[in-house]
A and B are shown apart, each in its own frame.
Chain A
Amino acid sequence: MKKIMLALAALVMMFAAANADEAKTVEPQKVKMKIKAKVKGDVVKAKVGITHEMLTYDQAKKKGKEPNFITHITGTVNDKVVYDASTSQFLSKNPLLKFEFKSSAAKKGDILRITYTDLKGVYYDEKKIK
């Protein structure tokens, strides 16, 4: 019975790893983002400003440019996901995001990494949590 449990566990891990790999086929590029994160009691409060045109399909057509907008944003600390947003063309230009996460997931001095995916690639930046 234990063998079956272990085999099942291994299958699940492989499945999860395979799915994660799909998302990581592009090497993330470092870009400048405004990241602020501070421990406040039992949460860490974060504010992220991303410079991005967030061009919708309609806007792109009018300007004769290619549409490009962010589709996913992840916040991670020590490989733990603390922010997970799937997004659309309808976030504002130069998106400003405010969020919190549990301070059980991170402490002062840990590094908050923000990674975003848009129609062209994957980008990230990092900042120490104060």
Chain B
Amino acid sequence: MKKNMLKVSLAILAMTGALYAKDYRVLKPKAWTAKTVDAAIEELYGKKTLIESPDVKLNAPDVASNGGAVPVSVKTSIDAKSIAVLQDVNPESLVIVFDQNENTVPNYGIKMKMKKSGTITVVVEGKDGKLYSAKKTLEVALGGCEG
């Protein structure tokens, strides 16, 4: 009996997930003020080891000509709950978190700021409870936060 109750309420929660957007800025406020990549990941997802995976695809130029607009694309074939993009050169590390639901496709393109040359990290929060990642170190020609 208890199992059934749990199934029904989980099903309803899952349905509402597809109808209501998730705001990680409200749910995980400390993740957005964290100054290191590791601290931001821990605030978002807890203390878990990152598993570097070829199934997390991160694309960014080797040399970004404009640090104010670095084109980054992330894609994964892993069954994901959410995807986070972080970097280690701006005042705070977390850039963006994409929530996944039954309608979304984990394939995103953004343009982001990077103050100087550094490393971009993508973390995929798997439905299996594990964290998968990919990194790319790139050179930035003109700083991105100076306006």
Query: In the assembly, what is the distance between CA of A32 and CA of B35, in Å?
Result: 34
Instruction: List residues of chain A with CB within 8 A of the CB of B21.
Output: 23, 72, 74, 76, 81, 84
B contacts with A, residue count (CB < 8 A)? 48
The distance in angstroms between the C-alpha atoms of A25 and B143, with both chains bound, is 37
Kindly state the separation between the CA atoms of A1 and B5 in the bound complex, as whole angstroms: 9
**1/0 contact string of B75-87 vs chain A (CB within 8 Å):** 0000000000001
The yes or no answer to B146 lying at the interface (CB within 8 A) is: yes
A90 touching B104 by the CB < 8 A rule?
no
Interface centre among B97, B112, B146, B147 (most CB of A within 10 A): B147
Chain B's nearest CB lies how many Å from the CB of A130? 18
Q: Is the CB of A91 within 8 A of B68?
A: no
The reply to whether the CB of B18 lies closer than 8 angstroms to some CB of chain A is yes
In the complex, chain B residues whose CB is within 8 Å of the CB of A58: 91, 145
**Which residues from chain B contact A117 at a C-beta distance below 8 Å?**
23
Q: Verify A86–B18 contact, CB threshold 8 A.
A: no
Partner of B8, one of A8, A63, A84, A90: A8
CB of B56 to closest CB in A, whole Å: 17
List residues of B (1-17) whose CB comes within 8 Å of A's CBs: 1, 4-5, 8-9, 12-13, 16
Q: Map CB proximity to B onto A1-13 as digits: 1 under 8 Å, 0 otherwise.
A: 1001100110011
| B90-107 contact mask (Cβ, 8 Å, vs A): 1 or 0 | 111011111111111101
| Chain A nearest Cβ from B31, distance in angstroms | 9
Check A86/B1 contact, CB under 8 A, given A8-B9, A99-B105: no
A84 with B22: CB separation less than 8 A: yes
Closest 9 CB pairs of A and B: A98-B109, A86-B24, A105-B103, A92-B111, A84-B99, A16-B16, A92-B69, A100-B105, A59-B147
Binding site for A on B (CB under 8 A): 1, 4-5, 8-9, 12-13, 16, 18-25, 32, 68-70, 73, 87, 90-92, 94-105, 107-113, 144-147
